Chain A
Amino acid sequence: MGKFWSLIFLLVPVLGVAAFVVAPWYDHWLPRDISEHGHTIDHLFYFILWLTGAVFVATEVVMFWFMWRYDSQGKANPVKYMHGSHTLEIVWTILPAATLLFIAIYQMNAWANAKIISPAAGPDGILGTADDMRPMLEVTARQFEWRLRYPGLKAEGVLGDSDDIHVVNDLHLPVNEEILLDLKSADVLHSFFLPNVRVKQDAVPGMKIPVWFRCTETGSYDLVCAELCGWGHYKMKGRLTVESREDFDKWLAQKYRDQEATQDPQLVGKGDGE
């Protein structure tokens, strides 16, 4: 029976690898990356996947082999009477330690670019100076919708005044431009997740968190809430439309006109209602 059980354990690496090989064929894989920094994250993912995959297969196969080879088959075979090996312990302490440390250090640039080195500081890299970058929009998450506020066309680029353009769930962004947005929450925790852009950031009440990225392809994608926010969490879905600067400006102007013309009976009650 020992041989049978060994083979059952061999199924783990065999089927495990098979699952990861087959999944991409059926499109059960990373969603299409449309961001500038996304390929770095994907590269780091693949790096860890290959590394852990190799360790996974190696250890599982070694385990299978030991089970197969040292099966007692009901006999009292002699065993290697030993309590360990100092040399082996040192080898399998230092090797993984170095590898793990390397993985950590290898990740740091990507993390810094995604979350620390904010474009908000402008070319001089210092916040609070004249060349600071203004956020392109403000995203306020609330149960269960995304409230988006773009600067209006009167005082261009200024958020928080009376001509701001309010949109719900319909996030439009220009392609190939550095996007900087401020993320806020009106009630509970939410998380701003753009799977195709490899962006995820929690929205926290009482905090204004900058998020930045750059989209490189036009199209329509999902905006997902990724932090539990109540019973309607699953339907807190937005749409990301990445388009050319021209189309984006056209869309924004249209939104602005719609907003200024709310007397139009066609549009009454179709604003960013509850």
Chain B
Amino acid sequence: MSTLSVGSHAHDDAHGGGHAHAGSFLSTYVFSKDHKVIGIQFLFSTLLWFLVGGLLALGIRWQLAYPWSDMPVIGKMLFANEGGQISPEFYTILFTMHASVMIFFVIIPILAGAFGNFLIPLMIGADDMAFPTLNMLSYWFMWPAFIAFTMSFFVAGGAAKGGWTSYPPLSLTDMSGQTLWLIGLTFVGVSSMMGSINYMTTIIQMRAPGMTMFRLPMTIWAMFITAILQAFALPVLTAAGFMQLLDRTAGTGFFIPAGWTANNAAAASGGGQPLLWQHLFWFYSHPAVYIMILPAMGMVSDIIACFSRKPLFGYKPMVYSIAGIAGLGFIVWGHHMFVSGMNPWLGMTFMVSTMMIALPSAIKTFNWLGTIWGGNIRFTTAMLFALSFVSMFIIGGLSGIFMAATPVDIFIHDTYFIVAHFHYVLFSGTAMGVFGAIYFWFPKMFGRMMNEPAGKVHFLLTFLFLNGTFFTMHILGVVGFPRRLADPYHYPTFHHLRPLNVFMTWCAIGMVATQVIFATNFIWSIFFGPKAGRNPWHANGLEWAAPSPPGHGNFDVQPVVYRGPYEYGSPEVDTDYYPQTQPPPAHTEGAPAPVPAAAH
């Protein structure tokens, strides 16, 4: 025992066994410092915003299928001034806010905020995050952003209309919605920064005895590297946001060329550069693309290994590929700017670095395939979503090569080809991975199982509808169909594409409607799902050694780690899994003795 350096704090908690949190309702469920409560708060908030973002997307789809036609039922309510139609101004709001909500309120916070928070201490065997108060603040700093984005819909001129990329000078001519957008963005940034510092510190400092870095599950590696990415990239976005805010409100001219004027306003005394914003923005937002996928890759790796009942194929190459993606992620931002007017020589270097970043993604895909090869696959809902992540990520990864090739990008840049590409990465990839993670860790979060048949129906319909919606976008892109046009059918080149858009719209409506099955299953199961034991999936990770749901302080027994997280099908034991905390059989020499269970 004496060889194990168990923190005194952890000891207290271990003996407390989920010691009664003597706080009020407010401090237990609202202003909680418990990483699990904060994670679940993030989960609920982001799922609600997921719904909002999805409905905004349906608005876009409606306009593209039936331009300038009355929207059934809700049109008269929302757009009374336009006789029930979506106005061109509102269309720009729709796609700007759809992307902003999905990226800043859903994908980034659901990965880092919800799953990062919930899983990091549990999977490394810690009793909580390193900085619980900071952790609580990281959630509550999302609220000013929620409020700013919501308010922006009601100010004069409506919400932001400059696209989620907010390219100046257009974003400088916009009404007050854009200012609120920038304020919201800043708060999201502060929240993410608090989270990322916390995650890095926790993973470095608070791992359980025996949990070496190379015994960490892929989820934790991905969260760790994502936190590093956040910490290095975010300050640039925050600074750029402040610069744009100053340009808008204080008369500075960071992004305004000399003598520039628009909308009959007085000429600005600029001297700045519109392209500067694009560089700063993408210097953050390209790494952000990986912030939006790496944690999902990590979680999917854990789910696939668990339900293949087989060790993860190529653990270290998987870790190095994540690190490689993160490193290269900082030198590829220029591929968003091939036709922006940036020096075309830079296009060459950015093309090479962008091509090379496809390599670690390819390595990861091959290793996932290697993992299911020779396994004993259990097709649970979580596994289906994780497998679909791989299948869809193949499409999203390969379509990226088209855009990376500069001459081809000249034609497909800003067409639906790019829209198809990032939806395959972010929806068909990340969101499907997140669904898988919800089905997988739900028993740990709420102590109950979700309904499997309903989950499978949810999977099947989502999988079919998403491909109906997004795969067809590649075809539109090949025709050159531009994104962000309220009515592309004005152009003879695109006139014949409307029937395909109608099909896509109905697939999108079906996809959103399908989520009712998920929402019902989710809410029902929280209250009425069958009770889950500690380890319903027979998985190896430390989180499965804690009670379901874990009490405050997480573990009733201080976990000690003896091996990596992927020892499925090991010949050393009779079971097809071999938890990280299970002591090796007695005949193995030199193994530390098991820690006795805490007396209750």
Chain A interface (Cβ within 8 Å of chain B)?
1-2, 5, 8-9, 12, 15-16, 19-20, 23, 26-31, 40-41, 44-45, 48-49, 51-52, 55-56, 59-60, 62-63, 66-67, 70-72, 75-85, 88-89, 92-93, 96-97, 100-101, 103-104, 107-108, 110-112, 114-116, 143, 187-189, 191, 193, 195-196, 198-207, 209, 221-222, 224-235, 237
Contact status of A228 and B372, CB under 8 A, knowing A200-B411, A204-B341: no
CB distance from A237 to the nearest CB of B (A): 6
Distance in angstroms between the alpha carbons of A105 and B455 in the assembled complex: 46
Q: Could you list 19 examples of A-B contacts with CB < 8 Å?
A: A2-B379, A31-B480, A31-B493, A44-B405, A51-B401, A55-B394, A66-B369, A76-B376, A79-B374, A81-B571, A111-B351, A187-B169, A187-B262, A189-B167, A200-B410, A200-B411, A230-B173, A233-B92, A233-B484
Chain B residues whose C-beta falls within 8 Å of the C-beta of A115 in the assembled complex: 344, 347, 406, 410
Chain B residues whose C-beta falls within 8 Å of the C-beta of A205 in the assembled complex: 169, 257, 260, 274
B384 to A, closest residue via Cβ? A5
Verify A55–B398 contact, CB threshold 8 A.
Answer: yes
Contact status of A110 and B407, CB under 8 A, knowing A12-B467, A204-B341: yes
Chain B 445-481 interface mask (CB, 8 Å, partner A; 1/0):
0000000000000001001000100011011101110
CB distance from A197 to the nearest CB of B (A): 10
Distance in angstroms between the alpha carbons of A237 and B492 in the assembled complex: 11
Count residues of B near A (Cβ-Cβ below 8 Å): 113
Chain A residues whose C-beta falls within 8 Å of the C-beta of B401 in the assembled complex: 48, 51-52, 100, 103
Verify A30–B410 contact, CB threshold 8 A.
Answer: no
Verify A84–B339 contact, CB threshold 8 A.
Answer: no
Verify B414–A191 contact, CB threshold 8 A.
Answer: yes
Q: Which of B89, B270, B491, B496 has the most CB of A within 10 A?
A: B491
Q: Say yes or no: is B390 at the interface (Cβ < 8 Å to chain A).
A: yes
Verify A234–B485 contact, CB threshold 8 A.
Answer: yes
Q: Say yes or no: is B170 at the interface (Cβ < 8 Å to chain A).
A: yes
Distance in angstroms between the alpha carbons of A85 and B315 in the assembled complex: 10
Distance in angstroms between the alpha carbons of A78 and B310 in the assembled complex: 9
Q: Say yes or no: is B562 at the interface (Cβ < 8 Å to chain A).
A: no
Task: Name the one of B173, B340, B415, B576 contacting A188, with C-beta atoms under 8 angstroms.
Answer: B173
Contact status of A88 and B369, CB under 8 A, knowing A96-B362, A191-B339: no
Chain B residues whose C-beta falls within 8 Å of the C-beta of A110 in the assembled complex: 406-407
CB-contacts of B514-555 with A (<8 A) = none
A97 to B, closest residue via Cβ? B359
Contact status of A101 and B471, CB under 8 A, knowing A224-B491, A231-B161: no
Q: Say yes or no: is B500 at the interface (Cβ < 8 Å to chain A).
A: yes
Chain B residues whose C-beta falls within 8 Å of the C-beta of A221 in the assembled complex: 493
Verify A195–B391 contact, CB threshold 8 A.
Answer: no
Distance in angstroms between the alpha carbons of A100 and B362 in the assembled complex: 11
Q: Say yes or no: is B377 at the interface (Cβ < 8 Å to chain A).
A: yes
Distance in angstroms between the alpha carbons of A170 and B458 in the assembled complex: 51
Distance in angstroms between the alpha carbons of A247 and B401 in the assembled complex: 42
Chain A residues whose C-beta falls within 8 Å of the C-beta of B367 in the assembled complex: 84, 89
Closest 6 pairs between A and B when the two form their complex, measured CB to CB: A206-B257, A80-B374, A84-B314, A115-B344, A110-B407, A79-B569
Q: Say yes or no: is B345 at the interface (Cβ < 8 Å to chain A).
A: yes
Verify B482–A204 contact, CB threshold 8 A.
Answer: no
Verify A67–B387 contact, CB threshold 8 A.
Answer: yes
Verify B570–A228 contact, CB threshold 8 A.
Answer: no
Chain A residues whose C-beta falls within 8 Å of the C-beta of B566 in the assembled complex: 83
Chain B 262-296 interface mask (CB, 8 Å, partner A; 1/0):
11000000100111000000000000000000000
CB distance from A76 to the nearest CB of B (A): 6
Q: Say yes or no: is B356 at the interface (Cβ < 8 Å to chain A).
A: yes
Task: Name the one of B88, B379, B391 contacting A232, with C-beta atoms under 8 angstroms.
Answer: B88
Chain A residues whose C-beta falls within 8 Å of the C-beta of B406 in the assembled complex: 107, 110-111, 115
Distance in angstroms between the alpha carbons of A88 and B363 in the assembled complex: 10
Contact status of A84 and B370, CB under 8 A, knowing A97-B356, A202-B341: yes
Task: Name the one of A9, A41, A116 contacting B345, with C-beta atoms under 8 angstroms.
Answer: A116
Task: Name the one of A12, A40, A196 contacting B407, with C-beta atoms under 8 angstroms.
Answer: A40
Distance in angstroms between the alpha carbons of A195 and B379 in the assembled complex: 45
Q: Say yes or no: is B187 at the interface (Cβ < 8 Å to chain A).
A: no
Verify B372–A28 contact, CB threshold 8 A.
Answer: no
Chain B residues whose C-beta falls within 8 Å of the C-beta of A44 in the assembled complex: 405, 407-408
Apart from A66-B377, A101-B356, A228-B162: 15 A-B pairs, beta carbons within 8 A: A8-B463, A15-B467, A16-B395, A44-B405, A52-B399, A59-B365, A72-B377, A104-B404, A195-B493, A200-B413, A202-B340, A205-B274, A206-B260, A222-B492, A228-B484
Task: Name the one of A49, A63, A100, A228 contacting B167, with C-beta atoms under 8 angstroms.
Answer: A228
Distance in angstroms between the alpha carbons of A93 and B321 in the assembled complex: 10
CB distance from B278 to the nearest CB of A (A): 9
Q: Say yes or no: is B21 at the interface (Cβ < 8 Å to chain A).
A: no
Verify A198–B410 contact, CB threshold 8 A.
Answer: yes
Verify A89–B363 contact, CB threshold 8 A.
Answer: yes
Chain A residues whose C-beta falls within 8 Å of the C-beta of B384 in the assembled complex: 5
A3 to B, closest residue via Cβ? B379
CB distance from A63 to the nearest CB of B (A): 6
Q: Say yes or no: is B207 at the interface (Cβ < 8 Å to chain A).
A: no
Verify B339–A70 contact, CB threshold 8 A.
Answer: no
A101 to B, closest residue via Cβ? B355
B497 to A, closest residue via Cβ? A28
Verify B348–A108 contact, CB threshold 8 A.
Answer: yes
CB distance from B371 to the nearest CB of A (A): 9
CB-contacts of B297-325 with A (<8 A) = 308-317
